[in-house]
Structure 1
Amino acid sequence: ASMALGVTRASLDFTQEKMEASGIALDYEKNPNNLSAMEKEFYLMEAHLDAMRLLTWRAAWMMDNGEFNNLEASMSKAKAGRYGTFICQKCCELLGPLGYSCENLAEKWMRDVKITDIFEGTGQIQHLIVARNVLGYSSKQLK
């Protein structure tokens, strides 16, 4: 989850930098009804990144304090894998041809973040672990 956070943050920062260079300044005090589609997408991606970060920090804090964090760790891994990929792909879309150019790291980040949904257990497995913990089922009861 931590790797997905770092790669996603880098992709989002790069996208913001390029948006501002092209004259699209992000104004967080602007009325939501007056936002462009690009600004709305960017704010939504930032919200997902914040959720990823908070879930990961919570799981890490619980582990550091010796608490059982199976549910929280699975939640952070599932969220980070899914939305890390979503955000990096969306950043490449927002950047247009620049996002898919080999001269920039955006397309590399998009490729790199996809592995985060796999190497700590696929998103489906993480969702299964979350469901078992929330519903109170064992692995024999919920497969």
Structure 2
Amino acid sequence: MTITGHCHCAAVTYSLVQDTAPTVYACHCTTCQRWSGSAFALHALLPEGALSITGPLAEYSHEHGGHVSNQRCCAVCHTRLFNTTTAAPGLLVLRAGTLTGAADLVPAAHIWTRSKQTWLAVPEGVPSWPQSPTPEQFASALSKR
């Protein structure tokens, strides 16, 4: 199936082909809270070449925790769409809120919960970690959805 998404103004659109909707997770770190302007950010991990993108992108790079993160956003409305990071070579981190039908996505895991807003409750039975899990733990949690 073809899955689509776009920025706020729709100047940038993207698509990817997969059998099911992407598995998403919530990151509650303070960096994601600042980037999103919200209590957490909803992400999906995808292979780096998974998106077919149309429209003008702008890039912002910064160092975070000893790794370089390359953020991509719409060059018109500045909606952040995805990033790549040296912490996860070969993967991209898609901002799941930009997906068409994002309201139907339920996080398969929650990370950096030590920074989560106190009023937010992580549902029972959903894997969560106070910081970043090991790659093996994270892959296991995301593969169960």
TM-score (norm 2): 0.24
Q: Which has the higher helix share?
A: 1
Rg larger for:
1
TM-score (norm 1): 0.24
